[in-house]
Amino acid sequence: MLNEVKWDGLWNATVETVYMTGISVAATFFLGLILGLILYLTSKGNLWENRFINQLFSLFVNVFRSIPFIILIILLIPFTRALVGSMLGANAALPALIIGAAPFYARMVEIALREIDKGVIEASKAMGASNWTIIRKVLIPEALPALLSGITVTAIALVSYTAMAGVIGAGGLGHFAFLEGFQRSNSQITFVATIVIVIIVFIIQWIGDYFTNKTDKR
Amino acid sequence: MKKFLHLIGAATLALSLAACGGTDEEAPDTGADEAGEPQEEAVTLSVGASAVPHAEILEAAKPLLAEEGIELEIVPFQDYILPNHALRDGDIDANYFQTPGYLEMQIEENDYDFVSIGEVHAEPIGIYSQEYSSLDELPEGANIIMSDSISDHGRILPIFERAGLIELDVAEGELATVDNIVSNPKNLRFGETQVEARMLAPSFESGEGDAVAINTNYALEGGIDIEQYGIAFEGEDVLQPNLIVVRAEDEERPEVLKLLEVLQSEEIEQFILETYNGAVIPISQ
């Protein structure tokens, strides 16, 4: 039934998708966490309240969240070339993937932190905890389940972003389905590639749920 | 900076247009009424087209068609698959973007009931390089960047075959693919990097690969100096004309025939020659 599927091509495409998703999720997690913390801490009534910094980062996050992915790729060409040495290929897709996803995740981090009971922070302050200690020992642990479920949502969004990265020759399952399946009217390949994407999404969701539950103390 | 804004503009436009598509289903069949009053109302004809040069040529034909009582609606497309879907589904009355080889392949694969009513222009695909000034100068293992459209490969590879750099083994009437290369002494790397056609000009601009095969419309859109950087083009004898394609039942529709007549007129031929400086070749009958 699946005699017309190019398995080695499918395997390469799977590796490319996992590679791009993996690296961009890791980078998005750290970048988004930092951005989200800045957004939260500088907002009204919080540890580093600073209207100017807050507005500045908020503007930055909003701008990069609104730029369509394909345009982000074009905008970032000079930056990507300086960083990766080429504007084509899987590595060249990473800056656009990360810069596209990090602001999205930053907002999720901000929301997660806002959910924390202010009383906990006040109590830590009263006990003489430094700001840095509060961030490390209170904010992040308290928000961890929400941070993890947020990165799960972001990771799944990134899987679909990698399909668009095909425009710069990054490969991946989405582009493989387009090249070998859609364009050659080989529905078997489109079908199998879609199944693999679905499996990847399920695995990400499963891992995310596992760690979210594990860290949830409620 | 200007080019940069141009790029953004083009990309935004392409994206916003992806959502468009729906038009009136069936224009009234003016040919059917024999004795009735002459129809004064303008008939709308919607035509799907690629942005450059197709939509621009149609834009130039718009006033000429208006004189004939036909209101031309141009529906721009950014890919080569959807204009045929839209034509089949009746969202558009005709499309203007494809070459005979591609049309044949699409009909075969999708069972479209389409016919070409005529040819308007040809855009030779070109090989562009910032470093080398001829195909012979390409070094061992040179990386040739191509689009991810398979039908383009069937036009690019023969350029290299004609220059004696590779040998192809293609069945009569078939389009060549990378798999058909039987001899490649210089180990040129074809399609190792396949990008969307839209990204070809930006790839060339930023010096990717040793040479980039670019469709003329994208080279024009990207503002590439075709005379300076083009090192090889499709031969005059294998030029692929761009067709006006309609559903088979509309083959004799008067508005459709009028559209073709205007597109093949001297005014449009002149427009093409003046606007594109030879990068787009009008096909006069």
Task: Write out pLDDT tens, residues A5-35.
Answer: 888 889 999 999 999 999 999 999 999 999 9
End-to-end CA distance of chain A: 49
**Looking at beta carbons, which residues of chain A come within 8 Å of B7?**
74
CATH number for the domain spanning B218: value is 3.40.190.10
- Within-domain flag for B143: yes
- Within-domain flag for B27: no
Position B5 confidence tier, pLDDT thresholds 50, 70, 90? low
- CB contact (8 A) between residue B202 and residue A87: yes
Which pLDDT score, from 0 to 100, does residue B92 have? 94
State whether B159 and B196 are in the same domain.
yes
Q: By CA distance, what is A82's nearest residue in B?
A: B206
Instruction: Locate the domains of chain A by residue range.
Output: 7-215
Which pLDDT score, from 0 to 100, does residue B4 have? 55
- Within-domain flag for B277: yes
State whether B86 and B98 are in the same domain.
yes
State whether B136 and B91 are in the same domain.
no
Full-model pTM: 0.72
Nearest to B110 among A68, A78, A185 (CB): A185
Nearest to B193 among A70, A75, A169 (CB): A169
Which one of B220, B238, B256 terminates a domain?
A: B238
State whether B115 and B140 are in the same domain.
no
- Within-domain flag for B35: no
State whether B248 and B214 are in the same domain.
no
B272 vs B266: CA distance, rounded Å: 10
B123 vs B282: CA distance, rounded Å: 9
State whether B115 and B130 are in the same domain.
no
State whether B78 and B48 are in the same domain.
yes
Half-sphere exposure of B75 (CA within 13 A, CB side): 24
Name which of A87, A182, A184, A187 to mutate to probe chain B: the one with the most chain B Cβ atoms within 10 A of its Cβ: A87
Which pLDDT score, from 0 to 100, does residue B24 have? 41
B35 vs A119: CA distance, rounded Å: 87
A175 vs A187: CA distance, rounded Å: 14
Rounded mean pLDDT, A32-48: 93
Position B38 confidence tier, pLDDT thresholds 50, 70, 90? very low
In this predicted structure, the answer to whether residue B10 has a pLDDT above a threshold of 70 is no
Rounded mean pLDDT, A133-137: 92
- Within-domain flag for B32: no
Task: Write out pLDDT tens, residues B252-274.
Answer: 999 999 999 999 999 999 999 88
Which pLDDT score, from 0 to 100, does residue B8 have? 58
CA distance A19 to chain B (A): 17
In this predicted structure, the answer to whether residue B1 has a pLDDT above a threshold of 80 is no
The architecture CATH gives domain A7-215: Orthogonal Bundle (1.10)
Q: By CA distance, what is A167's nearest residue in B?
A: B196
Task: Write out pLDDT tens, residues B140-191.
Answer: 999 999 998 888 898 899 999 999 999 999 887 778 888 899 999 999 999 8
B274 vs B56: CA distance, rounded Å: 13
B179 vs B181: CA distance, rounded Å: 6
In this predicted structure, the answer to whether residue B20 has a pLDDT above a threshold of 60 is no
Structure tokens that stand for B233 in this block: 């083009």
- Within-domain flag for B29: no
State whether B112 and B252 are in the same domain.
yes
Which pLDDT score, from 0 to 100, does residue B105 have? 86
Which pLDDT score, from 0 to 100, does residue A54 have? 95
State whether B68 and B175 are in the same domain.
no
B155 vs B152: CA distance, rounded Å: 5
Q: Which residues neighbour A24 within 8 Å (Cβ) at sequence distance 6 or greater?
A: A94, A97, A98, A101, A158, A161, A162
Q: How many residues does chain B have?
A: 285
On the question of a cis peptide bond just before residue B124, with omega within 30 degrees of 0, the verdict is no
- Reference B177, options B118, B244, B101, B233; nearest CA is B101
State whether B112 and B246 are in the same domain.
yes
**Domains of chain B: total:** 2
Rounded mean pLDDT, A186-213: 94
Question: Residues of chain B with pLDDT > 90: what percent?
Answer: 53
- Reference A54, options A40, A33, A71; nearest CA is A40
Position B3 confidence tier, pLDDT thresholds 50, 70, 90? low
- CB contact (8 A) between residue B11 and residue A74: yes
Structure tokens that stand for B59 in this block: 């834009």
Task: Write out pLDDT tens, residues A165-181.
Answer: 888 988 899 888 888 88
Rounded mean pLDDT, B131-138: 93
**Looking at beta carbons, which residues of chain B come within 8 Å of A175?**
148
B167 vs B182: CA distance, rounded Å: 6
Cross-strand partners of B48:
B75, B95
**Lowest model confidence (mean pLDDT) among A57-71, A202-216, B161-175:** B161-175
Nearest to B12 among A71, A89, A166 (CB): A71
- Within-domain flag for B59: yes
- What are the percentages of helix, strand and coil residues in chain B, rounded to 5? 40, 25, 35
Structure tokens that stand for B104 in this block: 């044949």
Question: Residues of chain B with pLDDT > 70: what percent?
Answer: 85
Position B75 confidence tier, pLDDT thresholds 50, 70, 90? very high
CA distance A88 to chain B (A): 8
Which pLDDT score, from 0 to 100, does residue B62 have? 94
State whether B112 and B12 are in the same domain.
yes
Question: Residues of chain A with pLDDT > 70: what percent?
Answer: 99
Q: By CA distance, what is A182's nearest residue in B?
A: B81
Which pLDDT score, from 0 to 100, does residue B218 have? 86
State whether B66 and B83 are in the same domain.
yes
Range of the domain at B102: 2-19+44-123+240-282
